[in-house]
Chain A
Amino acid sequence: MKALSQRRRHPLAAFALLLMALLVTGGLYAAASTANEAQAQTTTFTADDVEEGSKLFSANCASCHGMGATGSQAAPSLVGVGAASVDFQVGSGRMPMQMDGPQAQAKPVQFTEEQTRQMAAYVASLGAGPAIPSEEILDASEGDPSAGGELFRVNCAMCHNAAAAGGALTQGKFAPSLEGSSEKHIYEAMVTGPQNMPVFNDANIAPEDKQDIIAFLKTIEEQGSPGGADLGSLGPVSEGLFIWVAGLGVIIAFTVWLTSRSS
C-alpha cells in the first residue's frame, strides 16, 4: 500500500487510480472465487448433492444435453466428462449457453457455487472423469513460475498468446484471455479441454507442472508490465496503432501550434 500512496502523487494519478480500481475489482473477484473454492473442497459429494444436482440438471441442462446427460443433436453427452468439466463450464458462466455460436462464451455466472457443486456431483456420478482439483495443487505460491513459463510457451502460448492475452482460432472461435481466470478454472480447463481446447491430461503435463503454469500466469498477472501501460499485450499491432494515432497525433498538434501565428 505504501507504493500505491507514492504513486498517487504522480502526474498520471488519474490513470493510476483507474488501474487501481480495476485491480481492486479483480482482487475482490479473485478473493470471492477463492472463498467459494474452499467451500467446494470441504466435502466430497453426498447422495443428496447428486439428487439435487439431478433436479437442477433436468431443469436447466437436459433440454440440450438430454435426460440422463446422454447428449442430443444440440449438445454432447456429459457421461464421463467429470466434475471438473461441470465446475469449469458452469462456474465460468459458459454454461448454460445463451445461443448457438462458434463457441460458448463466458457470461455472468448463472448458478450459485452450491448449485454448481451439486450439478458437478450429478455429472460425476454418471461416469468417471477429471475431478475438481484440490486446493494444495492450486496454490500458485508453491509453483515455479519460470518452469511454468517454459511449459506455457510450448503448450499454451500459440493459442492464448505469450502474455495470456488471448488469440483467434478458425471460423469465429477464439482462445480467451486468461486474465482474471481463477487458478481452479485454469486447472480444470487443462484437464478437461473445454470447447476446442486440447486435453492436457496428467500424463502430458503432470499436476505439479500445471501448478507451475498457474504460478507463471499469476506472477505475470500480478506484477504487470514494468514499462507502463501494456496496450493489451497484443504485440506490435497495438504498438503500431498507438504510435500512428496517439504519437503522431500529438506531434501533429505540436506542428500546427508551432506554425500558427501567435495572436
Chain B
Amino acid sequence: MSSSTTTQTYVPKTRVGKVTDYVDSRVGGSGIVKEFGRKIFPDHWTFMFGEVALYTFVILLISGTFLTFFYDPSMAETHYEGSFLPLRGVEMSVAYASSLDISFDVRGGLFMRQIHHWAALLFVASVAVHMLRVFFTGAFRRPREFNWVVGCTLLILSLAAGFTGYSLPDDLLSGNGLRIIDGVMKAIPVVGTYLSFFLFGGEFPGTMIIGRLYVLHILLIPAVILLLIGIHLFMVVLHKHSQFPGPGRTNTNVVGYPVGPVYAAKAGGFFFIVFGVLAAIAAAFTINPIWNYGPYDPSPVSAGTQPDWYIGWVDGALRLMPGTLGDNFDFEFMIPFPWGVNALSLNVLIPALVPAMIVFTLMFAWPWIEAWVTKDKREHHLLDRPRNAPTRTAIGVAGVTFYCVLWAAASSDLIATHFLVSLNDVTYWLRFLVIFGPVLAFMVARRIALALQRKDREIALHGRETGRIVRLPHGEFIEVHEPVDDYKRYKLVAFESPEVMVPAPDADGKVGRLDKVHGRISRFFFEDRVAPVTPKELAASHGDHHGEIAGAKDRESIASH
C-alpha cells in the first residue's frame, strides 16, 4: 500500500529516472535493488570456481543452441557427400554426417563444436575444483549442508550431460563408449538385459539411442541443471558467502566488496574472460576430431579408446579389476536357480559400481559424518584453512588420490607407450596404488598439514625468519626473526582446534557402544593437534626478546633444532 502512495508522490526528474520508475512501479524493482545493490561478497581467488562453472554452463547453452540448428539426431543410413575427402562416399548415420557438416561445411560450425566441447570439459573440471574448495575449507558445514547436497547432485548431472553429449556425433570413439555402457548395463543382475533393450530400443546399437540421448542432452538434463543452479544460488544469497578468517572478519559479518559496482564489474568481466579463454583454446586446439574416428561400426576400434576425462575414473576401474585369479578362479559366477543357471559378472559390476558408490555416498553424507564426529552443531561462516583441519584435509587428499589413480588407469595404455613401460606393469602398479595410495596419501597429507600448523605457530610466536645472520659480541651466530604485525598474526591464530572427545558415561555409569565408537573416531580425528598460539604464550616468548635481535630463549630453540 505504501508503494502506491510513493508512486503518487515521487516524480522522477531525469529521463533514466522516468524509465526506471515506470518499470519499478510495476515490478517492484526497488526492493531487489535494495537487497542486492550493495550486497557484500568476499573476495578470494578460490571463490571464483563456482563462477567458472556457471559461466561455462552459459557458454554451453549458447554454443549448444547453435549446434542444435544444424545437428540431426537420426541414425538412418546415408552416404557422406560433404567436403571432407577421406570420408566421402562412406556409409554412416545421418547424425554423424550432420556432425561432419557442422565441422566442415557450416561456417563457424567447427569453432562452435570445439568451444562447446572444451567448455564441457572445463565445466565439469570447474565444478569438481569448486567442490574441492568447499570441502577443504569446510564450507559445507551448517548452515550450508543442503547446498552441498545440491552441488553434489549438480556434479552428477554435469557428468550425465557430458556423457550424453559425447555420444551424439555417433562416431567410432563414442560408439565404442556406448558399447561399454551396454556391456556394463547387461551385467546388472536380473534387470540388466531388459534395461539394455529398453535403452537401445532393442539390440545394441539399434536406431533409437542417439535420438534418446539427444533429448536427455538438450532438454531434460540442462533443464534440471538450470533448476538446481537456481536453488544453489538462492541458497548462496540466503546464507551470504562464507569467508576466510582474518582481521575484521568474524562469524557474524561479511567483509568484501559491494555488488555495485566493484563485485558486479569483476564477476561480469570474469564471464567475458572465461569466454575469451575458451575461444582462444577452441581457435588453436583441436578437440574430439570426429573425422579421424570414422562412423560407428561394431567391428573396428581405435587404439587409445577412452571416455572424456570425467568418466575416465570409472573406465579406469574397469581396467584395473582382474577378471580371473590364477588359473581356476574367475569373477563371473554361474548361480544355479530352480529355473536354470544365471550369470553374475562381478568382474564388471564391482569396478563399475563400487568406487562410484563409495565416492558419491561419502560425498553426499560428509557434512553429517563430520558433524557427528565433532558434535559441532554451530553455524560456521568462517572457513578453515586446509591445514587447520588436518584430518579432514587428509581424508580429502586420500579421496583425490583414489580418484586420480583410477583416472590414470583409464590412460594405462598411453602411460605405457609414452613412458616406454609395459602395459601390464602399469596395470599391476596401479592396482597396488588404488588400494595403498589413498592410505599413504592420508598419512603424508596429515603430516604436512600438522607441520604447516607448527610453522604458523613458530611464526606467530617468534616472527618471520629474515635470512639475516647476525654475529653476537661473544661470537655466536643467530638468525634475526622479525615479529609479525597484529593483522598478520591474527590470520595465523584465528582458528579452532577441536580436542578428542572422551565418551562420557551415562546416568548408570555405562558407556554406550556407539559412544565408544564415537570416542575412537574422535581420537583418530583429533589426537594429533596443534592449538593456536594464545596471547599468554606470545607474552611469554616476547618477554625474552626485545627489538630486532632474538633473545636468549630463541637462541636455545634455534640451537635445539
In their complex, do chains A and B touch, with some C-beta pair under 8 Å? yes
Identify the A interface with B (CB < 8 A): 12, 15, 102, 145-150, 153-154, 157-163, 165-172, 174-175, 216, 219-220, 225-231, 233-237, 239-244, 246-248, 250-252, 254-256, 258-260
* Residues from chain B with Cβ under 8 Å of A160 in the complex: 303
Task: Tell me the count of chain B residues lying within 8 A, CB to CB, of chain A.
Answer: 74
Contact A12 B90 (CB under 8 A): no
Contact B286 A231 (CB under 8 A): yes
Known: A169-B423, A236-B309, A240-B121. A153 touches B300 (CB 8 A): yes
Determine if B172 is an interface residue (Cβ-Cβ < 8 Å): yes
25 intermolecular pairs with C-beta atoms under 8 Å apart: A149-B86, A150-B90, A153-B300, A153-B302, A157-B301, A161-B303, A166-B303, A171-B424, A174-B417, A234-B304, A235-B173, A235-B305, A236-B306, A236-B307, A237-B304, A241-B309, A242-B285, A247-B122, A248-B125, A251-B126, A255-B45, A258-B269, A258-B273, A259-B43, A259-B48
Question: In the complex, which residue of chain A has the Cβ closest to the Cβ of B120?
Answer: A243
* Residues from chain B with Cβ under 8 Å of A255 in the complex: 45-46, 48-49, 52, 270
B56 → chain A closest CB, angstroms: 10
User: A200 to B364, alpha carbons, bound, how many Å?
Assistant: 54
User: A111 to B343, alpha carbons, bound, how many Å?
Assistant: 58
Determine if B138 is an interface residue (Cβ-Cβ < 8 Å): no
* Residues from chain A with Cβ under 8 Å of B28 in the complex: none
* Residues from chain B with Cβ under 8 Å of A234 in the complex: 304, 414
Contact A243 B411 (CB under 8 A): no
B488 → chain A closest CB, angstroms: 15
Interface SS of chain A: helix, strand, loop or mixed?
Answer: helix
B424 → chain A closest CB, angstroms: 6
14 new A-B contacts at CB < 8 Å, known A227-B282, A235-B305: A102-B422, A157-B303, A158-B301, A166-B303, A168-B303, A172-B425, A226-B291, A228-B283, A230-B289, A235-B302, A239-B117, A248-B125, A255-B48, A255-B52
Question: In the complex, which residue of chain B has the Cβ closest to the Cβ of A237?
Answer: B411
Determine if B93 is an interface residue (Cβ-Cβ < 8 Å): no
* Residues from chain B with Cβ under 8 Å of A158 in the complex: 300-303
Question: In the complex, which residue of chain A has the Cβ closest to the Cβ of B44?
Answer: A259
* Residues from chain B with Cβ under 8 Å of A149 in the complex: 86-87, 90, 294
* A239 contact from B86, B90, B309, B417, Cβ within 8 A: B309
Contact B423 A168 (CB under 8 A): yes
B307-329: which residues lie under 8 A (CB-CB) from chain A? 307-310, 312
B217 → chain A closest CB, angstroms: 17
User: A37 to B291, alpha carbons, bound, how many Å?
Assistant: 32
Contact B172 A162 (CB under 8 A): yes
User: A197 to B86, alpha carbons, bound, how many Å?
Assistant: 25
* Residues from chain A with Cβ under 8 Å of B129 in the complex: 248
Contact A154 B299 (CB under 8 A): yes
Determine if B207 is an interface residue (Cβ-Cβ < 8 Å): no
B268 → chain A closest CB, angstroms: 11
Contact B122 A243 (CB under 8 A): yes
Contact B86 A146 (CB under 8 A): yes
Contact A240 B294 (CB under 8 A): no
User: A32 to B81, alpha carbons, bound, how many Å?
Assistant: 36
* Residues from chain A with Cβ under 8 Å of B270 in the complex: 254-255, 258
Contact B304 A165 (CB under 8 A): yes
Of the listed residues A175, A241, A242, the one surrounded by the most CB atoms of chain B closer than 10 A to its CB is A242
User: A243 to B410, alpha carbons, bound, how many Å?
Assistant: 17
User: A234 to B88, alpha carbons, bound, how many Å?
Assistant: 24
User: A246 to B281, alpha carbons, bound, how many Å?
Assistant: 9
User: A166 to B125, alpha carbons, bound, how many Å?
Assistant: 28
